[in-house]
Each structure stands twice: as structure tokens, then as C-alpha cells.
Amino acid sequence: MKYLRFPALGREVSQLVLGSMVFSMDDLGLTFDLLNEYLDLGGNLVDTAHIYGGGNSERALGRWIAATGRRDEIFILTKGAHHNVDRRRVTAEDITCDLRDSLARLGTDYVDLYVLHRDDPLQPVGGIMEALNSHIAAGRILAIGASNWTIPRIEAANAYAADRGLKGFCLSSNHLSLAAPKEPVWLGCVDVRDAASRAWHARTQFPLMPWSSQARGFFSGLFSPEVTDNDLMVRVYYSRANWARLDRARELGLQRGFQPIEVALAWVLHQPFPCFPLIGPRTVEELHSCVRALDLSISAAEAAWLDTGETPATP
């Protein structure tokens, strides 16, 4: 495993973050196997959310904590205040309700990182930051972040917090992968693949924890232009430019002894800012594949070629 120092926690955090969407009360064996192997490989940050599996992702993680007593070996990141079909929910009341649910499910009295799952641009940032900081003051949260928030909204929230001596967001969790999305994966999602967003992260060194860092398996070999039964994949990732990126990932992988999906993850890891990709292995073997990507060192020129196909001119 490789680590980067995470200032908001004052500790080193593993660069690969274990996602928990496959955690389930119906298959605790898989949940336990993934968590135990991830820790044995040196991982120490687990990502979950109030809405995953109707709460069962958090419950399964809590069951593992209770059974193993390894709470102090991991950082827990959970997310809340996701909208539902009836209303937008980025409010102090919903943040509080979701956080209390999450703590009860997890069987812990605090989470290390609490991340808002969606933004509501109609909500002033002041009330949001005040609500989050009230939970920090109570010891329920150590640090806070924002998922699917635009950079201007993050800046506004952190300016409000700085002016009042409050803690601001310490991370962004937006979409980033070698495969460029044609449109948002889901309504309200934010992608930071554009040059301006990545330049902002590079300039500020603001940590990014990108979700769908492997483009939902686009580089796995399971998808091709002829495989059209997955509407989401076709809608978001099927493009001539992305098939060319897949070809280049295959080419580099053959040269260096890695699978294309490992090359794609290495591209995300080699950003010019602190980057902690969220991974979503469904098996222990897939977890090992993700960890192998840490061994693939790619240059800035190779990263640019994987993305655009252009080789930088020699000075």
C-alpha cells in the first residue's frame, strides 16, 4: 500500500480507499473478506454512505467492527444528506438525522470524515457549515468534505468557515477517471476531469477522493462497442475517444505487464495533487488488482498520452 499525509486527520491515509457498495447484511462473508484483506494489505480508509443498500452497507461495516474490534485501525468516511425523489435534503435537520442513523448503524460514536453526498446550490453555505461544525464540536465528526460540489461552492463554503473560525471542507469527492464521461453518471453528479478543475486541485493541493475511478469497469474487458445491454455504460462512457483510451491502456499494459483496468487506475493515482481513488472491488481478486496499480509508475508524458493519444514534443 502507499500512503499520503492527510492534514485534516494529522495521519497518513492509504491512497486507495475501499468502497463499500457491495457490503451487505446478506453476504457478510464477502464483506468481512474484503475488509480483512484490505487491512492486511495496508489499507486504512473505508468509504460508505447513508443511502448505500438502504443502510445495509453501514450496518455490515458495523457488524465487522463489532466482530473484529478493529475500529481503531481504520478511518471511516460516510456520506449523508443525499436528495430523494421527494425533496432536496442538504439541510441541518437532514444532516443531523442521517449522521445519527449512520453512527447507530456503524456502532461507533464518531466518524473520521463526514462528506455531504450532494449539493443544493439553493441552500446558503452558512447554515450548512454551521450545522456540520456543531457535530464537530460535539465530537461526532473529526473532519468534513463535499461530494458532487462544484469548486466555486467549495470555495464559498470554506471562505465562510475561515471568516468565522470554523472548520472547512478538507476534501472533494467528485468523479474522475481515464474514461471521460459524455454526461453525468447520475443527476447532480460533478466531474473534475476538465483542465480547469484539475488545475485548481494542482494549484491548491486540495485532496480529491474520486468515485468511479475505474469508470465502473469500462477498462475491465467486459465492455466493447458491441456490448450494449448496460444503458448507463453506453450513455456515459461509450465514445470513440474512450475506446481509443482503452486501446492505449491495453498497449501500455502489455508493455509493462499490467491489465488495462490497472493502467486506468494508475492514471488516476498519478495526478499532480493528493488523490485517493475510491475503489469498488467485488471480490478479493479484484482488490488485489487495484493494489497492483500502485506498482505502475507512469510519467507525465505517459499520462498525457493515455488521455489524449498525443506525445509531447521533445524540447
Contact present, 145 and 114 (Cβ < 8 Å): yes
Question: Residue type at 185?
Answer: V
Q: Write out the catalytic residue numbers.
A: 52
Integer Cα distance of 217 and 280 in angstroms: 9
Task: Yes or no: say if 248 and 305 are a contact pair by the CB < 8 Å rule.
Answer: yes
SS3 157: helix
Give the span between the Cα atoms of 67 and 53, in whole angstroms.
21
Residue 218 DSSP class: T
What values do phi and psi take at 98, rounded to 5?
A: -65, -40
Contact 157, 185 (CB under 8 A): no
